[in-house]
Copies of this chain bind each other. A is one copy, B any other.
């Protein structure tokens, strides 16, 4: 699946992933109204509004981008009905040829991580049948529990040719609270280094057993909001694809991103969520209006693509 991601990036010329993280207040009034008329002001109504919103955006941008990243929390907030729409969104995007990165940030002790891995990337054995649950192409994984919480995901990736992105340095303001703490070296002659570097080294080690042609199936999440750390982590994990959230609404810009990429122009994929899916709410794209929200999203994708291409050319 890392090969398909790379092919998609090369075909579109856009190392971009659109975050399908639909807050209800991003969904234009007219879609909400129609869904509530059909299903009432219920979880099912909300989920239907989100689905119609997603579908229109996907249709409008799918030829421009290699991948999408639905954030499962935004669906989970609507309970089962929301998760049904998560699943429909995954399926619909795959039909359109997009790589689907489920942003689920799962991670637990071994046997439990295995169940998550099976549910999101693999197949579960029921009697004599193998059945798929959510069936994303990649998911994000939280490393706090250490190797035995991560390796079950890697095992399923090897079996199913899928991939993971492990949280290393997240994009949020307080990510440094634990991730930046200086950790003592285990060897007498080593210096102190921040925790995210220790985790980054493990990502490189985990990934070495699980290689595509040039990149590993085991990638990393490093926030666009921390370009200096991105530069260091790029070198520590040369074969890891980096999923870079935090572009746009969270403050990251194209110029901040150049060091997340390798010299081959690959190695990173930059996510924007709000900046794309709620573009029509920004002054820059307000001319589209709520009725043409998906066209605003398309314009925002084109602008993001150009911003990143320009930054990479000028590096």
Q: What band does the interface of chain A fall in when counting residues whose beta carbon is under 8 Å from B?
A: 35 or more
Question: Which of B36, B77, B118, B132 is A127 in contact with, Cβ under 8 Å?
Answer: B36
CB neighbours of A79 from chain B (8 A): 87, 119, 131-134
A82 adjacent to chain B (CB < 8 Å): yes
In the complex, which residue of chain B has the Cβ closest to the Cβ of A177? B146
Chain B residue nearest to A186 in the complex (CB): B181
**Residues of B with C-beta under 8 A to A43:** 124, 126, 131, 133
Cβ of A167 within 8 Å of any chain B Cβ, yes or no, is: yes
Taking a contact as CB atoms closer than 8 A, the residue among B73, B107, B145 that contacts A113 in the complex is B73
| Cα(A127)–Cα(B42), bound, Å | 8
Q: How far is B176's CA from A142's CA once the two chains are assembled, in angstroms?
A: 15
What's the least CB distance linking A246 to chain B, in Å? 9
Partner of A184, one of B42, B126, B172, B192: B192
CB distance from A243 to the nearest CB of B (A): 14
Please tell me if the beta carbons of B145 and A170 are within 8 angstroms of each other in the complex.
Answer: yes
State whether A145 touches B175 (Cβ < 8 A): yes
- Given known pairs A80-B80, A145-B170, the reply for A41 and B178 (CB within 8 Å) is no
**B183/A181 in contact, CB under 8 A:** yes
Q: In the assembled complex, which residues on chain B have CB atoms less than 8 Å from the CB atom of A143?
A: 144, 178
Could you pull out 7 A-B pairs where Cβ atoms are within 8 angstroms?
Answer: A23-B111, A43-B126, A73-B115, A74-B112, A77-B133, A80-B83, A144-B167
Known: A43-B133, A78-B133. 16 other contacts (CB 8 A): A24-B124, A41-B126, A41-B129, A45-B127, A73-B115, A73-B116, A78-B124, A80-B84, A80-B133, A105-B108, A143-B144, A145-B170, A146-B174, A178-B198, A181-B195, A181-B198
**A interface list, Cβ under 8 A from B:** 21, 23-24, 32, 36, 41-43, 45-46, 71, 73-74, 76-80, 82-84, 87, 105-113, 115-116, 118-120, 124-129, 131-134, 142-149, 167, 170-179, 181-184, 192, 195, 198-199, 202, 245
